[in-house]
Amino acid sequence: MNIIPKAPKPNILVLPLIGMSLFVLLYILAALEYPGGSWMSPQQNGFSFWNNYLCDLLDQNAINGELNTARYFARTSLTVLCLSLALLWYYLPGLFTGKNFNKNIMWLSGMAALVATSFLSSGAHDRTVRIAGFLAVIAFLTCFIELLRARHIKLFISGIGCLIIFLVNYYIYETGLFIRFLPVIQKITFICFIIWFIMLDVLYYRKLKY
């Protein structure tokens, strides 16, 4: 059974690029607006690159106890990112030739992971992270298989690198080992994946355009 949508017009793939750019801009604005406090230093002023998690910006109240006015920017940015990546992933199987079961799994798990991620600000953070993370690993592994089959070796290798960083991030999150470094590792993980998704989007755009 094939559930994969047809390939889009090339210009559709410009939208995820715009969305990922907006995500970065809105998160910067959220960081600038954040009142203060982190788990390492509850009374610090403002947002700390070294001590705050990105999810701190989503909460109703900042860690220092003040009302978190940054949450509007942060929640909007998360919504924009999920919608942008969902649009890319919705059409992504069209990057690869042929029909197979692996592409169906890639599509379903990727879309489900993004839906789960959109609930990060709902109050069930840990459960959301685990569900979205499990689905995302399935989506990435199946995508890597297709990239390897299509001989997109650079994207395959860089994707494996992103996944390794992601798993390190998750391991620290679950075990508490080296937890002091997790806020920075989390940001590195986001940056790496954003770059990888941009590369994936540009590759697909060029295929459709030329």
Domain residue extents for the chain: 10-209
Q: Which of 5-9, 106-110, 115-119 has the lowest mean pLDDT?
A: 5-9
Q: Which residues contact 81 (CB under 8 A, 6 or more apart)?
A: 19, 20, 23
Q: Three-class SS string for 30-61? A: HHHHCCECCCCCCCCEECCCCCCCHHHHHCCE
**pLDDT-derived band of residue 5, with 50, 70 and 90 as boundaries?**
confident
DSSP 55: G
Q: What is the pLDDT of residue 92?
A: 96
Is the pLDDT assigned to residue 1 strictly greater than 60? no
78 membership: H or E segment, kind and range? helix 71-91
Yes or no: say if 71 and 57 are a contact pair by the CB < 8 Å rule.
yes
Greatest alpha-carbon pair distance for the chain in Å reads 56
CB count, 10 Å around CB of 177? 11
Angle, CA 153 vertex, CA 149 and CA 159 arms, to 5°:
100
Q: Indicate the SS3 state at residue 46.
A: strand
- What mean pLDDT comes out for the span 198-204? 97
Q: What CA–CA distance (Å, rounded) separates 11 from 31?
A: 31
> What average pLDDT does the structure give for the chain?
94
Q: How confident is the model at residue 6 (pLDDT cuts 50, 70, 90)?
A: confident
Distance CA 21, CA 12 (A): 15
In the chain, what percentage of residues exceed pLDDT 90?
89
Banded pLDDT at 117 (limits 50, 70, 90): very high
The confidence score (pLDDT) of residue 2 equals: 63
Q: Are 169 and 185 in contact (CB under 8 A)?
A: yes
Q: Three-state SS for 56?
A: helix
Across the range 162-171, mean pLDDT stands at 95
> Distance (Å, rounded) from C-alpha 192 to C-alpha 186?
10
With a pLDDT cut of 70, the percent of the chain lying above it is 99
Predicted pLDDT at 165: 96
| 3-state secondary structure at position 48 | coil
| Choice among 3-17, 105-119, 193-207 with the minimum mean pLDDT | 3-17
Decide if 34 contacts 47 (C-beta within 8 A).
Answer: yes
Residue 132 has pLDDT above 90, yes or no: yes
Q: Is 85 exposed, middle or buried (0-12, 13-18, 19+ CB in 10 A)?
A: buried
